[in-house]
Amino acid sequence: MTSKRLGALLKATPSAVVVDAAQEPTEESPAPMTTPHKQASVVVSEAEVPMQVMVPASVRRQVTLLAAHEGQTVRAVVLKGLRAVGITVAESEVEDRRSRRGK
């Protein structure tokens, strides 16, 4: 990608800054997500897509240890964390989907 195309892309992309809840939303900044769990309770299952993020090794270790301590998957811990900050995540998406052989 040329630097001109990259510059144009960066100018077109909204910045990733936290919006103060007291600040009025404008056309440039969407309203902050301040009402977790108050959205529609029925969420239609949709296709899953991969989402990768680079985190410090210590964060990865903590998430892995928390998941093991709570008997959950890392995916479940991350989805619950996203739900805690206001992202709509259906409970059915958080459930462990690993097959259990020999139950």
Angle, helix 74-84 to helix 57-70, in steps of 10 degrees:
100
pLDDT tens for 5-32 read: 766 666 666 655 555 555 555 555 455 5
**Among the residues of the chain, which ranges form H helices?**
3-12, 57-70, 74-84, 91-94
Output Rg (C-alpha) for the chain, integer angstroms. Answer: 18
Contact 77, 67 (CB under 8 A): yes
Q: Is the pTM of this model over 0.85?
A: no
User: Residue 98 CA to chain centroid, in angstroms?
Assistant: 21
Say if residues 19 and 29 touch (Cβ distance below 8 Å): yes
Q: Residue ranges per domain, the chain?
A: 3-94
